[in-house]
Amino acid sequence: MKAAVVNTFGVPPSFRDFREPVASDGETVVTVHATALSPIVKGLASGRHYASGTTAGFIPGVDGVGIDAEGQRVYFLFPKTPFGSMAEKSLVASEMMVPVPEGLSDERAAAIATAGLASWIALTRRAKLQRGETVMVLGATGSAGGMALQTARHLGASRVIAVGRDAAKLERLEADVKIALNDDADGALRAQFDEGVDVVLDFAWGEPATRVLRAATQDRGSRTGEPRLRYVQLGTVAGDEIAVRGDMLRSTGLELIGSGIGSVSVKELLTGARELLAAAPMASFDAPFTSLPLTSVADAWICDRGVRYILTPVR
């Protein structure tokens, strides 16, 4: 079969022949119709992600949409190494698939699941969002951040706040408050925390997280009965590390939480994907993407325009 193959860590995959998967007990061969090129896919293929393997010679891709051995259209997660989702066929554990609702195209289902699963899990499992609460999204102008605003609203948030570096992209988002991370942002951030923020979803980390945490905790120690702030760390596009003062935690209701592979069980991730896709048709989630044939994987891999690419095998 044809597939994208990572021969060397840190180098874009090549489009080439690869042996076909053969299912054993408890496994299914899925004919792939659409798969997403997401930051985690690139991270795993670089060898630097905390969940990366130790050797190259594999097909990248952690999820996709396709047809299972029973002829059902499914979304699948975490295919078995080395048969990732960027191929004509993938090898999947039978319990790692959920149905794709009618009304969602293959590409749109793949885009929504890939962009929206992180925030869906973070809000429902980690932060446990309550109806009427306020959610701030740091890194709102990316694909996952844009979906986070939508999922927060769908799950009952009464107010959503979009924070990001690109003022032009922020203006196109649907949010109650939009804060561009320019030199004047600190006052605007503090004003929002003074008004009340219950959950922060952080796709950026690094210097932007430092500014948001400072705004959230500064001068809070003198207040009594301060509501707890659940700060959920989801990505590190702006840096891997930050400095956190001890009194930020002692003197406020701040709770630092991670959400991702390892902090949430695989079973919960799959259940969340089922819930997200089931909600998508009625919620009209919008996850912009550009569709490309799998033959263009190397070009898409090195293109850094903030575009979510959905790759489709050519048959």
pLDDT in tens, 166-197: 999 999 999 999 999 999 999 999 999 999 99
User: Across residues 229-235, what is the average pLDDT?
Assistant: 97
CA atoms within 13 A on the CB side of 225: 0
Each residue's pLDDT tens digit, 263-297: 999 999 999 999 999 999 999 999 999 999 999 99
User: Across residues 7-33, what is the average pLDDT?
Assistant: 95
R_g of the chain, CA atoms, integer Å: 20
- Verify cis geometry, omega within 30 degrees of 0, for the bond prior to 39: no
Give me the pLDDT at residue 46, please. 74
* pLDDT band per the 50, 70, 90 thresholds, residue 162: very high
Give me the pLDDT at residue 47, please. 62
Give me the pLDDT at residue 40, please. 85
Give me the pLDDT at residue 218, please. 86
Structure tokens at 168: 């032009």
CA dihedral 5, 11, 12, 16 (to 10 degrees): -30
CA distance 299 to 24: 34
Has residue 222 got a pLDDT over 60? no
- Residue 290: strand pairing partners: 309
Give me the pLDDT at residue 251, please. 82
Report the share of the chain in percent with pLDDT over 70.
94
Is 0.85 topped by the overall pTM?
yes
Q: What is each CA distance from 47 to 54, 122, 300, in whole angstroms?
A: 7, 25, 19
Quick one: 49 exposed, middle or buried, by C-beta within 10 A (0-12, 13-18, 19+)?
Answer: middle
SS3 content of the chain, % helix, strand, coil (to 5): 30, 25, 40
Has residue 225 got a pLDDT over 60? no
Tokens 């193959």, residue located: 5
CA distance 146 to 175: 10
Give me the pLDDT at residue 252, please. 86
By C-alpha distance, which of 274, 276, 273, 298 is closest to 285? 276
User: Across residues 110-130, what is the average pLDDT?
Assistant: 97
Has residue 54 got a pLDDT over 70? no
Has residue 55 got a pLDDT over 80? no
3-state SS assignment for residue 112: helix
CA dihedral 84, 86, 87, 93 (to 10 degrees): 30
Q: What is each CA distance from 71 to 68, 94, 111, 124, 236, in whole angstroms?
A: 5, 13, 22, 31, 38
User: Across residues 135-146, what is the average pLDDT?
Assistant: 96
CA distance 88 to 8: 21
CA distance 173 to 150: 10
Each residue's pLDDT tens digit, 70-86: 999 999 999 999 999 99
